[in-house]
Structure formats: structure tokens, C-alpha cells
Chain A
Amino acid sequence: MTRRSLAAVAAVAALGLVAACGGSDAGNTGGGVKDGKVTITMGLYGVMGFKETGLLEKYEKEHPNVTIKAEVAGDEQTYYTALQTHLTAGSGLKDIQGIEVLRAKEIVDTRADKFADLSKVAGTGHFLPWKQNQVTAADKKVIGLGTDIGPMAVCYRKDMFAKAGLPTDREKVAELWAGDWSKYVDVGRKFKSGFKGDRVAFTDSASGLFNAMIYGSSQQFYDTEGKLIYKDNPVVTDAWKLASDAGSSGLTAKLRQFQPGWDPGLANSTFATTVCPAWMLAHISEKAGPQNKGKWDVAKAPKGANWGGSFLGVMEQSPVKEEAKKLVAWLTAPEQQAYIFEKLGNFPSSEKALKAPEVADAKSEYFSGAPIGEIFGDAALEIPDKQVLGRKDGTIKDIFSQGLSLIEAQGKSPDAAWKDTEERIKKATG
């Protein structure tokens, strides 16, 4: 090859590189119909249970002309950032996308037009009323169907309670703090003075307590008009006060749930209680390990609250919209929700599934045979029917957790930490 032709090749190659970036295929979601075969793509995150329990394969077996391709992101934060980018660009979306509850409001407010309306899908009248409300837009459009929810209880260590001179029976333990979270902190004080020996904290984190308190009320950071009200909402200020009180008086292990140090804390038993939504049980039993089996138990929380839960939405632009709707309805049907609960412990959002015997009568062997179906089921029914979500709920919750760890781990005064928190929320929402 002569030098001249080489130069020409180089120039053409350079142009080609640029041209290759130009084309985009707007409107495609990956799924489609080919030779009568339907392909449905799904974007999921964390452990939603559909792939893990083999439900997708089961659906494929029952519908031989359907192929499901599910992509599971480990981390919801990463997943949501990508989803937002895809929604903006109008490309890279799947036919079905998972939606975490703390993102629901933002999507309902800004992107409802991209999602198909699921309000008229047959056989979907079985959800807890507040669950469905969370993804219903002002014009009654439903952009997702509920998967799991996170009713809360308190997981506690019987052996440590005994050592601290407290009752160990789950009914009696629940009575100690029945009706009021401040009683839970009082029990913590008794625990601290009664427990002699190794360094063991009463609870893992101040933020866990804070979450449990705010998620038991229908309004948290925003009001129904979408206005930020956390500063004046007694639910939030009371929770902050109690949690910062617990954090600064040495009742916590100064950890943050699902952050470094928390898992080893479970494995090495450095705290006696943790406020646990139903889906956390699997995590605790895995991380605390077989050596702690039977030492843990579950007691009713002072007040019913919900932490977490997800939805499945169908994209409006999907070429297989109707098939995707059917799949979503099937995946969130009571039988499947009960099945996932049995396999993984994700708690059903379907009222019908709550009453199914495999849920209602469920007991956890790891947690000393606690009747978890009954405990979490009761908590689920205690959750207020109206759940007001806000656009930046997830971010604000993180900022509050960090504000509390300013007190716990950095020794800031609650007032200074509140000021920092306010400033950060202003930055994040403004």
C-alpha cells in the first residue's frame, strides 16, 4: 500500500468513526415479535425475586411463545440514574422497568407519560389500597403494579436481653414498647444499665429508628401538594429528636444499615436490636450466620410502618405492551407474591396474598420460630391508607441518615447537625 492510499484510508476511517455515533434507534425497548415469538425485556435491581426464584422461567414454560430477558442491576441508585437517562433520551429502555417506592413520586410527576396505564388491567384489584395510591397519577393513571412492601418490626437478641435482665418472650418484649417509640428508647436505657460485660449497643443505628418513626405516618417530608414540610412536620422533628437522643447517649452501635461495618456487626453480635422491615430478615440471617441461629427473635414494633417496596411499570413505547402488561399482572398476582415470600421473604403487597395460608401462617426458623406472617401482616394493616410520597424522598432520607451520623460518629450537637441537614436538603432540592 502506498503512502497516499494509506492517508486516504486514515481519513475515511476517521470520518466513519464520527458517523457511526450519529445513528440512534429511538423508540426501541429491546422487545418485539419475531416469527410469532414474543420477546419481553425487563430492567430490575437488587433482589426483586422474579429471576431468583425462577418465576420468569415458569412463565416462559406456561407461555411457550414468550421469551423474557431480564437484566438485574445490583445497586438501585445506579439503576435509577440509568433509568432517568434512558427516559430522557427515549432510548435504552426495557419493556418493563422496576420502580423503587422512593422514586415513585418523581416518576409519577415527571415521566408518567412514558408509562402505560395499568389501571384497567384485568385482575389487579387485590393490592393494599395505599400501595396502589403510591403510583397513581392525578388523572387516575396507574403507572406500576406493586411487588413487595416493607412492614416493620423489631428484631432482637434474646440472649442479650436475658443478660440485661429484660424479658425475652416476644409478646412481653413487644409490651415493653407498645404504642410509642420513646418507650423503645427507654428500654434501651434499661438495657444499657442492665447489660454487664462486653461492649454491646442496644440498637445498630439512629437512622434505623428515625426511618421506623417517620414511615409510620402518612406524611413525611412533603405534603399532598408536593411542598417540603419536613421542618414543621412534628412526625419528622419528633423522630429526629428521639433518634438524635438515642444516638448521642450511647445506645447505638454508631453504624449505618447496609453500610460498611454493619454486616460484621451482625456477625460479631455488637448490637441487641434492629428495626427490621420484612425484607431485612433474609439479610440478617445470612450475615449473622448459623452461629446466631435461634438467638434472634422478632417482636411487634411500637407502631406499624413501611420501609421500601417496589413496582413494575410497562413502557408506553414498548412494541409488546399488551404482552408486557399481562406479564406484570401475572408476576404481581397474589399467588406469585406468596411464592416469592416463601422463597425469599419479600413481603406481599397484595391484600389477598397476605391472607394466603403460606403467608399468614409463616414462621421463621432462624428467628426462634417467630410467627413472621402474623407480625408483619398485622404491621402491614396498621400502615395508614394514605401514603404521601415526595419527589426527592430517597435523597432526603439519605441526608437525614447522614445528619444522624454526624451526631453519632462525629460528636456534633443535634442542633448543629440539624442545621447541616437543612442546608443539604436545600441544596439537593433547590
Chain B
Amino acid sequence: MPVALQTFRRRTFWHRLDVRGAPYAFVAPFFVVFAAFSFYPLLYTAWISLHRVELSSMDLMEWVGFDNYVALWEDERFWNALANTFTLGVVSTVPQLLMALGLAHLLHYRLRGSVFFRVAALTPYATSVGAAALVFTMLFERDFGMINWLLGLVGLDPVNWENDKWAAQLAISSIVIWRWTGYNALLYLAAMQAVPAERYEAAALDGASRWQQFRMVTIPGIRSTVVFTIVLSTIGATQLFGEPLIFGQGPNGITGGADNQYQTLGLLLYEEGWKNYQMGRAATVAWAMFLLLVLVFVVQRAVRRLASRPAGARPVLSRSGQS
């Protein structure tokens, strides 16, 4: 065999390994980290959830099979927390996304100092949950809070924000809404700016008003971003934790109010694990939450598949076979 051909073969081997192997090597760090910090804890949590074990003696585990899951299913606190997570999620997500849409629409206009407004919209998102929740807790305080003071000015009775179920949920939702509206608005804005200007011009030529343009051009144009924010917000709402914890402060925060009136699944997990020190039961809640998210995701996919027609042949991003 001529030497030139040999070196050519060797080169193609290395070349092939480079082309085929390098991408795997590049993504490997993520998957290794994922395996160590996400996948392993996930499995270990599942293992713990099949045991009766206390935080003070993690080395003493007692196998109980699926008892924890059965107990959780029969525990009214779980259903209460699930319902609260749902209502808090709806009350905070729906207005939040609608407001974000409106805000993005306004920011989309040519404004003087638009950069300032865009940065301002993002400021609440940059604030820590702790700081935001603490300030809101003071605003909603029963005896000397500013909100009740304002209500008093217009002749309304003070509201017992923490102890009344719906008032508490409203107050907590307001923290979430305040923090995330601007963030979502910027996502929408970015999507809006990608909508071709010709469509607006065409719509304007057809005599469409601003509102009609918003409905007929903007919304369809940013639909995939809307779906994305809904997915994100749903995940966020399912994991709602910091806001109610700080809103209640102390033991009341952990249990989501004296009557569990705003206890979310995240708080229930925390209560089981870090107040009652029952790690097995806490792990069970964690897994229930995980399964719930999977369920939400599957439903979302199904709905989306039903709603969207096949969009025809899309260009597929890949390396063409030139090697």
C-alpha cells in the first residue's frame, strides 16, 4: 500500500473521531454535572422516600415501601397544599402574563428613553426574593402596614392579610407578579421585535386599528414565546416557596399560616424535612412534585400538539455530509 494512502486513512480516522466525537466531549461536562447533581440526588431522594428516616439520624433508615406515598395520598395537608399551589399559581401567573403582554406592547412603541424603561422593567426581577418578600410583608402588615393604612384612608376596614386565606394568597401573588412581570415583558418585547414590520404595514394599509394589529399580528407572531413563558411560569408556580415562607416569617411561614392557608407543596416539603425532620416524608413530597411537573409537561405537550397544525417541512439544522 502506498504510504500516502496509509496516512490518508489515519487522517480520516482522526478526522472522523474529531467530527463525530468532539460534540459529545463538548456536551459531556454538562451531563457529568447533571448526573452528579441532578440525576443521582433524584434517585437517592426516591430511595429515601421509601424509608422512614429522621434528619437527626440519617444513618438509621427503616424500609417502609410505599407507605409514605399512601400516607401522602391520604393526607389532607397534601391536597390542601396542592390546591394552594394551584390557586396561587393561577392568581399570580395569569395576571402576570397579561400585564407583561400589555407592558411589552407599550415598550414596543417608539418611546423616548426606551432603554431606561426596559431596564426599569427588569429591576424587580433583579431584586432578591428575600428582600422583595420582606418589604411586601411590611406593606401587608395587619396593624401598621401601608396597604391597610391606604384602605383606611378611603374608609375601608383593615384586612387581616396574613390570616385570611384569600387575602394572604393575593398578597403573596402580588410579590410574584411584581417580580416577574417585567422579566416576561422583556421576553415578549424581544419576540415582538422579530415580527416583520411589513405585516404591520400591510395590516395598517388594510385599515386595522392598533388593537386589531395587536390581536391579529403581534399575538400570532409571538405565539411560541407565549407558550415558553407559560411553561416557565408553570414550573415557577409549582415550586413557589420563598415568597410564602418569608411572608409568614418564623414557624408560620414554614406551615404556610396558622391554618396552612397558603402552604404550597414546596413549603410542605420544607415542613416535613426541616421542621418535623422526617426526611422520608419530605422526599415523598419532592417526588410527588416531580411527578406532577412531568404530568403538567405531558398535558402541555398534548394540548400544544392538538392546537398546532403541522407546519410543513422545516429546514433541519445539521452538518451536511461533506466529510
**Chain A: residues with CB nearer than 8 A to chain B?**
3-4, 6-8, 10-11, 13-15, 17-18, 21, 77, 81, 84-85, 87-88, 106, 110-111, 256, 258-261, 264-265, 268, 270, 395, 398, 401-403, 405-406, 409-410, 412, 420, 427-428
A17 touches B32 (CB 8 A): yes
Q: Which of A15, A21, A87, A405 contacts B56 (CB 8 A)?
A: A87
- B55 close to A10 (CB less than 8 A): no
Complex interface: chain B residues within 8 A of A412 (CB): 259
Whether A268 lies near B143 (C-beta < 8 A) is yes
Please give, as numbers and ranges, the residues of chain A lying within 8 Å of B213 by CB-CB distance.
none
Is B55 within 8 A of A81, CB to CB?
yes
- 6 additional A-B pairs beyond A8-B25, A406-B259, beta carbons within 8 Å, are A7-B25, A17-B32, A85-B55, A88-B57, A261-B144, A401-B251
* Contact A4–B22 (Cβ < 8 Å): yes
Quick one: closest B residue to A83, CB to CB? B56
Closest 4 CB pairs of A and B: A7-B25, A14-B29, A14-B32, A409-B163
Interface hub of B18, B33, B137, B144 (most chain A Cβ within 10 A)? B144
Contact partner, A3, options B22, B36, B259, B274, Cβ 8 Å: B22
Most buried by B among A13, A14, A111, A401: A14
On whether the beta carbons of A427 and B258 are closer than 8 Å, the reply is no
The digit string for B50-78, where 1 denotes a CB below 8 A from any CB of A, is 00000111110000000000000000010
Contacts A4-B14, A264-B143 hold; do A11 and B28 have CB atoms under 8 A apart?
Answer: yes
Q: When A7-B21, A261-B143, A268-B143 are in contact, do A410 and B251 touch as well, CB less than 8 Å? A: no
Complex Cα distance A420/B260, Å?
Answer: 11
Q: Is the pair A88, B258 in contact by a Cβ cutoff of 8 Å? A: no
The SS class assigned to the A binding surface is: helix
A84 to B57, CA, bound (A): 8
* One of A18, A401, A409 near B36 (C-beta < 8 A): A18
- B59 partner residues in chain A, CB cutoff 8 A: 88
Please measure, in the bound complex, the distance between the C-alpha atom of A312 and the C-alpha atom of B143, giving whole angstroms: 39
Judge whether B33 and A14 touch: CB under 8 Å.
yes
Chain B residues in the interface with A (C-beta under 8 A): 14, 18, 21-22, 25-26, 28-29, 32-33, 36, 55-59, 77, 137-138, 141-144, 160, 162-163, 249-252, 255, 258-259, 274-277
Contact of B58 among A88, A111, A427 (CB under 8 A): A88
In chain B, what residue has the closest Cβ to A13?
B29
- Residues of chain A within 8 A of B56, CB atoms compared: 84, 87-88, 106, 110-111
State A85–B277 Cα separation when bound (angstroms).
11
In the docked arrangement, what's the CA distance between A10 and B25, Å? 6
By beta carbon, the residue of chain B nearest A262 is B143
Q: Are A10 and B29 in contact (CB under 8 A)?
A: yes
What's the minimum C-beta distance from A265 to chain B, rounded to whole angstroms? 7
Decide: A261 near B276, CB < 8 A? Known: A4-B14, A14-B29, A409-B160: no
Query: Nearest A residue to B19 by beta-carbon distance?
Result: A3
Residues on the B chain within 8 Å of A13, using CB: 29
- Chain A contacts of B249 at CB under 8 A? 259-260
26 A-B contact pairs sorted by A residue (CB < 8 Å): A4-B18, A6-B26, A7-B26, A10-B28, A11-B25, A14-B28, A14-B32, A17-B32, A18-B36, A81-B274, A84-B277, A85-B55, A88-B56, A258-B250, A259-B250, A261-B144, A264-B141, A265-B143, A268-B143, A270-B143, A401-B251, A402-B255, A406-B258, A409-B160, A409-B163, A410-B259
- Do B258 and A410 touch across chains, with their CB atoms under 8 A apart? yes
Give every chain A residue within 8 A of B29 (Cβ-Cβ).
Answer: 10-11, 13-14, 17
B143 touches A428 (CB 8 A): no
How many angstroms from the CA of A29 to the CA of B18 in the assembled complex? Answer: 48
Question: Which chain A residues border B18 with CB–CB below 8 Å?
Answer: 3-4, 7
User: Which B residues lie within 8 Å of A405 (CB)?
Assistant: 163, 252, 258
Partner of A427, one of B138, B251, B276: B276
Smallest distance from the beta carbon of A94 to chain B beta carbons, Å?
A: 18
User: Once the chains are docked, how many angstroms separate the CA of A242 from the CA of B28?
Assistant: 65
B87 CB to nearest A CB, Å: 18
**A268 / chain B contacts, CB cutoff of 8 Å:** 143-144
Tell which of A84, A106, A268 has the most Cβ of chain B within 10 Å.
A84
In the complex, the answer to whether B57 meets A261 with C-beta atoms within 8 Å is no
Q: B residues within 8 A CB of A409?
A: 160, 162-163, 258
Chain A's nearest CB lies how many Å from the CB of B308?
37
- In the complex, the answer to whether B32 meets A15 with C-beta atoms within 8 Å is yes
Contact A264 B252 (CB under 8 A): no
**Complex Cα gap A264–B141 (Å):** 10
Chain A residues contacting B36 (CB-CB under 8 Å) are 17-18, 21
Cα distance A193–B155 when bound, in Å? 28
Q: How far is the CA of A409 from the CA of B144 in the complex (A)?
A: 16
Q: Which residues of A contact B137 (CB under 8 A)?
A: 260
Distance of A79 from chain B, by nearest CB (Å)? 12
Q: How far is the CB of B269 from chain A (nearest CB, A)?
A: 14
Nearest to B15 among chain A residues (CB) is A4
Cα(A395)–Cα(B272), bound, Å: 12
Distance in Å: Cβ of B17 to nearest Cβ of chain A: 8
- Is the beta-carbon distance between A260 and B276 smaller than 8 angstroms? no
Chain B residues positioned under 8 Å from A270 (CB to CB):
143
CA distance A67 to B244 in the complex (A): 42
Q: CA of A108 to CA of B278 in the docked complex: distance in angstroms?
A: 19
Give complex CA distance A88, B61 in Å.
13
Give min CB distance, A269 to chain B, whole Å. 11
| Bound CA span A15–B36, Å | 11
Shortest distance in angstroms between B139's beta carbon and chain A's nearest beta carbon?
11
Chain A residues contacting B162 (CB-CB under 8 Å) are 260, 409
A206 to B59, CA, bound (A): 40
**Once the chains bind, are B163 and A402 in contact (CB under 8 Å)?**
no
The complex places the Cα of A81 from the Cα of B282 at a distance, in Å, of 14
Q: What is the bound-complex CA distance between A25 and B255, given in angstroms?
A: 36
